[in-house]
Structures are given as structure tokens and as C-alpha cells.
Chains A and B, each alone.
Chain A
Amino acid sequence: STPVDPKTKANALIDSLPGNSFLSKTGILATTAAASVYAISSELYVVNDESILLVTFLGFIALISKTVAPLYGEMAKNRTDHVVGLLNQARADHVNAVKTRIDQVSNLKDVVSTTKALFEMSKETAALEAEAFELKQKVAVASEAKSVLDSWVRYEAQVRQHEQEQLASTVISKVQSELQNAKFQDKVLAQAVEEVERLFAKEK
């Protein structure tokens, strides 16, 4: 691989630093360099074999990160993809379950209008039943009245019949008693003879 132009590499290194508004990226570098120079010059930091060990260790860490990091990254990516796949699958299953439930419940979507219609019908039925009951009561009252009136009619007919029978028997008994009377018998006989004579006279 062709090495990157030193200028570009330098800019990339500077840009990778965590610079912010009050202390620029190059400012951090300059300050660090100045502090290092001061520390070494004043023997605050003594460069000895341990420093070489530190540099070696940091180099080793850099090397490890360069080689192991991609492998770990790939492993982590695979793991992430696996977990994401599981989550997506679970989500899809959940969506399907919800859709199925929606399909099941959608059959009941007209339940409100149906219930309203049934309620209206039940009100109508109740009204009709009430009316029917009222009419039944009226019919019952009417039939009761009719039966009472019929009984009265029958009673009156019986009374009239009884009166007529009494009247007839009275008349018959009177007639019979009159017939027993000699005067009446003579009178009737005279009338009968007179009528016979009249008839004979007509014949002639």
C-alpha cells in the first residue's frame, strides 16, 4: 500500500485530536510538547529505562489494537447482527400476531350498529308487547262485560218467559173458571148458535 502524503497524514492526525472552542487541536499539541520539555528539562520527569518500557508497551498496545480490533469488531458486528435479527424477527412475529388479532376482531366491527338496531327493535318489541297486553286486557274486560250482559239477557228472558207462563196460566185458569160459570156457558152457547145461524143464512 502506498503511504499517504506526510502533509495529509499530519492534518489527519491533528484532526483526530479532541479539540474544542477554547483550546484548539494544535494548541493541545503545543501545550503538551511545552509541558513535556519543561518536565524533562527540570528533571520533573526523568527519562530512564522505564520510559523505554512505557513507550514499548504503548507501541505493543497500538499493534494489538491494530490487529485484534478488526477481528473483535467483526465478531461484535456478527453478534449485533444476530441480536438485531432476533429483535426484527420478534417484531415481525408481534406484528403478525397483532394483524391476526385485528382480522379476528374486525368481524365484530359492525357490533355497535347491530346493537343499536337490536336495541331499537327491542324498544319497538317492548312497545308492541305493552300494546298487546293492553289490548288483551281490553278484550278480557270486554268479554267479561259481554258474559255479564249475556247472563243479564238470559236472566231477563227467563223472567219474561216465567211472566208469560204465569200470565198464560192465569188467563187459562180464569177462562177455565169462567167456563165453569153457567151464565158464561149460556152466553157462549148463545153466541155459537147465533154464529151458526149467520153462517146458514149466508149459505142460503
Chain B
Amino acid sequence: ISQYITKAQGFFNQAIYWTKVTVEVSKQIYIREGLAPPSVAEIQQVYQGLYKKALEFAAQPKTSADGLIKVAKSLSKEEYLRFGAYFIQIVGLFSLGEIIGRRQIVGYPSFGPKEHHH
């Protein structure tokens, strides 16, 4: 029995070790990718900028649209890849929020009466 206990202990230690490694990797990603929540000032700055752009677009839709097209054309392949990666990350975070919100990984829980199959 003692050898099984030793083996199990080894597996347990390995699991703990790799969990720690995963946590460290996550920390590194969190730090290097700047995933920390923005400050209030940053949120204000971004939303004020967006509000101004929306007003500009409402006032001069054609000019704004042309500007957007110009920016889109001027972007390089690398920048498209980077922004694509950011988009995937945002979608992933949104999905994570959904999972937390519905308290279930896949699908939504049903709270109604259970169906009876006759």
C-alpha cells in the first residue's frame, strides 16, 4: 500500500507543480498583454473619444467613412493580424463572461418544469 501512496503523492505533487506553472504562465500573459482592467480615467478617455467620433460621423458621414477606409487601406498585414488577435481575445473574454453569467460552460440552464415524454 505504501508504494501506491508514494505514487499517488508523486502524481499529486506533479499536479500541484504544473498548476503552479500554469498560474505563472497566466500571470505572465496577464502582465505582458496588459489584461488588467482599465482605470476610470482611461475608460472616460476612450468613451469620450468614441462619443466625439460618433458626433463627427453623424455630422459628416461621408468624410468619416472615407477616413475609415483610408485607415483600413493604410494598415499592413502585420497590423491586421494583431488587430485580429485582439478581436479574438475580446470575443474570448466575452465568452468567458457568458460562461460566468450562465454558470454553465455550454448552453443555458432550464428553470421551467421538466418535460415529460409519454
Instruction: Give A10 to B81 CA distance when docked, in angstroms.
Output: 25
Binding site for A on B (CB under 8 A): 17, 20-21, 23-25, 27-29, 32-33, 35, 78-79, 81-82, 85, 88-96, 98-99, 105-107
Q: List 6 A-B contacts (CB under 8 A).
A: A3-B17, A6-B17, A7-B24, A26-B32, A34-B90, A41-B106
List residues of A (1-49) whose CB comes within 8 Å of B's CBs.
3, 6-7, 9-11, 13-14, 21-24, 26-27, 29-31, 33-38, 40-43, 46
Looking at chain A's contact residues, the main secondary structure is helix
Question: How many angstroms from the CA of A30 to the CA of B85 in the assembled complex?
Answer: 9
- Tell me whether B95 and A37 are in contact (CB under 8 A): yes
How far apart are A20's CB and chain B's nearest CB, in angstroms? 9
Q: How many residues of A contact B (CB 8 A)?
A: 28
Q: Which 7 A-B pairs have the closest CB atoms?
A: A34-B92, A10-B24, A22-B78, A6-B20, A41-B95, A26-B32, A38-B95
B80: shortest Cβ distance to chain A, in Å? 9
Instruction: Name which residue of chain B comes closest to A40, CB basis.
Output: B105
- Given contacts A3-B17, A21-B78, A40-B106, A26 and B29 within 8 Å (CB-CB): yes
CA distance A185 to B77 in the complex (A): 166
Kindly identify which residue among B33, B99, B107 contacts A26, using a CB–CB cutoff of 8 Å: B33
Taken together as a complex, chains A and B put the C-alpha atoms of A125 and B95 apart, in Å, by 109
Contact residues in B for A46 (Cβ distance below 8 Å): 106
